[in-house]
Amino acid sequence: MIKIKIIFNPVAGKGEESANINELALTLLDRNYTVSKFVTKQKNDAFNEAFKTAISGEWNLIISAGGDGTLNEVINGIIKSSNPINLAVYPIGTMNDFGKFLNIPKDPYKLADRIDEGRYSNVDVGKINSQHFINVASMGIFTSVAHTTSKESKNLFGPLAYYIEGLRQFSSTNIPLAYIDIESEQFSFSGEFIIFLISNSSSIGGFHKMAPKACIDDGKFDCILIKKAPAYKLFEIFLKVFNGQHINSEFVEYFQTNRISFDTKEEIDVDGEYHSNGKQTVEIIHNALKMII
């Protein structure tokens, strides 16, 4: 009997997904799975439950039902357990970048179908110091978009709220510049920058072609550096993000690597949560997880 643990964040997105989660659980039960639902109440609940579930060795699959932050906690719990367990995503949050990259359906029956079919794939995971991430580590003005966009705006406009906030920041005539030192085998840089992204998937902040060449099982990060540029050029870059052509700009560096070090005073955002600044080393763990796709 296959045993499935659903780790559910009830406040993700608009906080209106309980009925769908219950429908998913009932559908899986009807298909002869053993199902248990764990509801998070505070930060690190998803991490702790994923760790306990994985280390017990009694479960076959965890479903992370929440946003990018919930998924980040779950993958950190699984990896810390050192006991591999299969993972699926049920995307609930406003952005759900990684879930959208995998084209995971929000229909409970369609997700159950994928579980029935056993549509698994190996997935890389990033490691920044001792913390793991599955989608992106970011610095610069883009880092603040998720945190400066109001909950009211997200509830009203959904993903469009992030685009509006991103456009506002990109088109500002007073964009704050920051300094960064970057060192990898493929690329080095010291100077002022607007945005620096270290990505595992192509979808970042709701922009689905931000890292257009990204692949989640190639053992490489896709890195995007947007350097100091005139405001009108930054506006052009922002518009080109939607079709992935921004990487051709003279002010954008795009490269792939499996290990990179950098030093900046800017706040670092890791899968939607703030991380410490300063000197950091980021490396990729190839095929770290097996996920439903």
Catalytic residue among 183, 253, 273, 283: 273
- Cross-strand pairs, 8: 39, 65
Lowest mean pLDDT among 169-173, 216-220, 233-237: 169-173
Report which of residues 146 and 107 the model is more confident about.
107
The CB-side HSE value for 14 (13 A sphere, CA atoms) comes to 12
Q: What is the pLDDT of residue 157?
A: 42
Confidence of residue 254 (pLDDT cuts 50, 70, 90): very high
Give tens-digit pLDDT for 163-217.
Answer: 455 556 555 556 667 899 999 999 999 999 989 999 999 988 778 899 999 999 9
Q: Domains in the chain, start-ordered, CATH in brackets?
A: 3-118 (3.40.50.10330), 133-287 (2.60.200.40)
Residue 16 has pLDDT above 70, yes or no: no
Residues 6+ apart with CB under 8 A from 41: none
Confidence of residue 279 (pLDDT cuts 50, 70, 90): very high
Give the 3-state secondary structure of the chain.
CCEEEEEECCCCCCCCCHHHHHHHHHHHHHCCCEEEEEECCCCCHHHHHHHHHHHHCCCCEEEEEECHHHHHHHHHHHHHHCCCCEEEEEECCCCCHHHHHCCCCCCHHHHHHHHHHCCEEEEEEEEECCEEECCEEEEEHHHHHHHHCCHHHHHHHCCHHHHHHHHHHHCCCCCCCEEEEEECCCCEEEEEEEEEEEECCCCECCECCCCCCCCCCCCCEEEEEEECCCHHHHHHHHHHHHHCHHHHCCCEEEEEECEEEEEECCCEEECCEEECCEEEEEEEEEEEEEEEC
Mean pLDDT of 46-74: 95
pLDDT-based confidence at residue 57 (cuts at 50, 70, 90): very high
For residues 182, 183, 187, 191, the Cα torsion angle rounded to the nearest 10 degrees is 30
Would you call 152 a catalytic residue per the annotation?
Answer: no
Question: What's the whole-number average pLDDT of the chain?
Answer: 87
pLDDT tens profile 93-115: 666 788 888 888 888 999 999 99
Q: What is the pTM of this model?
A: 0.87
d(CA 221, CA 217): 10
Confidence at 140, pLDDT banded by 50, 70, 90 = confident
